Amino acid sequence: MSTVPLILEDVEMGGKEDDGIEDDFAYRNNVMHASVKIRLGFIRKVYSLVFMQLLVTTIIGFTLMFWQNGRSFVHENDWLLMVAFFGSMVTLIALHIKRKDTPTNYILLSIFTVVQAYSVGVVVTFFEGIVVLQALLLTVTVLGGLTLYTFQTKRDFSSLGVFLFAGLCVLLVAGIIRIFFINTVFEIIISVFGALLFSLFIVYDTQNIMQRVSPEEYIIATIELYLDILNLFLYILRALDATRRG
C-alpha cells in the first residue's frame, strides 16, 4: 500500500486550510487528516521539542565527558544511574497521563529530558571522546537522511510494527547473552543490528505519528522520536567502539 508523501501532499493541496466542524473533527482525529496549518504546526512543534531535547542531552553529555570533576562524580556515585533509571520510568508514566495538560506536560518533559541526558552522559564517559564525536556525527547524518526519506516516500511502513517488536525481543535476548558471552564480534553484530533496528523505528514512528496521533498528542510523538534517536546513537557508539577495539 502506498501513501502520498507527507510533504508532497501539503504542496498538492496548495496550502488550503479547512475551517468549521470538519476541521475540528480532523484536529481530534489524526495529523494526516488535519488541515495543512494544523499539520505543519504539529511538525514544527514536535521537531522543535526534539531539537531542544537533543541539545540539552548533548550539552550534559559533553559536560560530563570532558569536565574531569563531572566524570569523577558520576563514576564515584554510580547509584545515581539507578535513580535516573527509575526517575525516567516514573516521569514517563506521568507524561502519558498528563500529556495534554499544559504546562504540566512541558515540565514533566523537561525533567524526563534532563534525567535521560544524565543517563546518556554517564554512558559516554566510558568511551573515548573521538569515538563519541564520530557516533554523534554519524547519528546526525543517518537521522537527517531517514527523516527526509520518510517525508518524501510514498511507501507505507505501518506493517513494520510486528517485525520491529520481534527485533526488540531479539535485541533483549542478545543483550542478556552478551552479559555471559563477552566477544568483540558478537558485540559488533548486536550493535549494528540495534542501529539498523532503531533506524527503522525512526522511519516507522515518523510516519506512524502522522497517521495515528492527533495534533494535541505532540508530547507522545516527541518522546517516541527522542528515544529512537538516543538508542540509535548508543548503538552506533557501541558499534564504533567495538570495531576500534577489534
Whether residue 155 lies inside any domain: the answer is yes
8-17, 123-132, 178-187: the lowest-pLDDT one? 8-17
- Taking residues 52-76, what's their average pLDDT? 94
In a domain, 236, yes or no: yes
Number of domains, the chain: 1
The answer on pLDDT for 26 being more than 50 is no
Query: In terms of DSSP H, where are the helices of 126-183?
Result: 129-152, 161-180
For residue 13, pLDDT over 50 is answered with no
**Structural domain boundaries enclosing 130:** 6-245
In a domain, 121, yes or no: yes
Tell me the pLDDT band of 97, cut-offs 50, 70 and 90. Answer: very high
Phi/psi region, residue 17 (left: phi>0; alpha: psi -120 to 50; beta: rest), is: beta
Give the number of residues written for the chain. 246
More confident residue, 173 or 17: 173
pLDDT value at residue 1: 45
Whether residue 1 is contained in a domain is answered as: no
CB 30 within 8 Å of CB 214: yes
Domain assignment of residue 23, yes or no: yes
